[in-house]
Amino acid sequence: MPRRFSLSGFVVGLSTTVVLAAVALSLLGYGAATAIETIFGIPTELTYDTPLDLLHLSNHAISGWMEIIDKLHETAHFRLAAYATAGLGLALTVLFIGARTPTVREPIKRTSKRALSALSRIPGKKLIQSGCGWLRKQALSFIPFAVGGATPWLLIPLLKIVILIFALLPLIGYVGAKENLKTWIVSAEYCSPISGRNERMTMQKSQIDERTQGNVLKITPCLSLWKNGSLVAEGRHIASTERAIILFDPVTGNVTLEPTEGISIRVSGYSASTLRTLIEMHTTDN
């Protein structure tokens, strides 16, 4: 009979998957928080307030690993691995072809028969065979002994594996976020442009044209913080929580953690037309 769909089982499975995914992303986000501390000096515990903030920070880790994977094929290690796997595949292909070729297969068979014949003359062969037969028949009887004897020894490695998994996810998040922060915040050439309607409609095509010409420049969101009509801070957006915003000033190197209470946030940057002119000048100079 066809198996009936179980709604309760589906709900339990979906809930479990969502919880595990949230935990994994939170651990990646914690790794991203440690990367922010390493690069910008903001203590880890100040970069998030709630688990939701960790989920937001995991975006740095995921984006960073996308960058790492995109650059992977350009490395010498990747080319070496590609040559090694191609050589292994070629060796296996030659082996399979040889196994299907009679002139190669028959001598191997004759050699194997001679080896088996020599092994059959080993003293005590019948005793060994009878012992192996008895062990096969009594294999199930040894399961309690094997489980009882192996459990204490397996428990320690299993606990270490669990701890390693929980420690590995923040490390993965740290590596990915560090790459993303350096590439798209520290190393970005310009802030994201401020565009009116007409500029937004025409900017898309110019961006595509620049990519096709290989002149891709990195831009990053920049913010200015105002309070009572006065500028409080300005810089490249690193991260934000419900209570604070972290900005980086690429000129002075200052990193600001500013409370959001009473703060007005504005997007900061050149207009799209000005940025386009700067990009054209940059392209001409290069």
pLDDT tens-digit series, residues 11-21: 888 888 999 99
Q: Which residue is associated with the tokens 């490695």?
A: 157
The two tokens of residue 169 are 């996810």
Please tell us whether the domain made up of 190-285 is placed in CATH 2.30.30.100.
Answer: yes
Average pLDDT per block of 10 residues along the chain, 286 residues long: 66 87 94 96 94 94 91 85 91 84 75 68 65 72 76 83 87 95 92 79 54 64 94 94 93 93 91 78 65
Beta strands in the chain (DSSP E): 190-191, 219-220, 222-227, 230-240, 244-248, 255-259, 264-268
Q: Are 239 and 257 in contact (CB under 8 A)?
A: no
pLDDT at residue 1 in the model: 44
Work out the angle at residue 255's Cα, subtended by the Cα atoms of residues 36 and 238, and round it to the nearest 5 degrees.
50
The number of residues making up the chain comes to 286
DSSP 8-state symbol, 123:
T
**d(C-alpha 64, C-alpha 180), whole Å:** 4
pLDDT at residue 41 in the model: 95
3-class state of residue 32 by DSSP:
helix
- Beta pairing, strands 219-220 & 190-191: parallel
Q: Which residue is associated with the tokens 């920049």?
A: 222
HSE (CB half, 13 Å, CA atoms) of 57? 37
pLDDT at residue 77 in the model: 86
Q: Are 248 and 202 in contact (CB under 8 A)?
A: no
Q: Where are the CATH 2.30.30.100 domain residues in the chain?
A: 190-285
The two tokens of residue 36 are 């922010």
pLDDT at residue 270 in the model: 84
pLDDT at residue 124 in the model: 62
- For residue 8, give the amino acid letter: S
Q: Which of 73, 29, 83, 76 is nearest to 51 (CA)?
A: 29
**Main-chain dihedrals φ then ψ at residue 266, nearest 5 degrees:** -125, 145
pLDDT tens-digit series, residues 146-173: 777 778 788 888 888 888 888 899 999 9
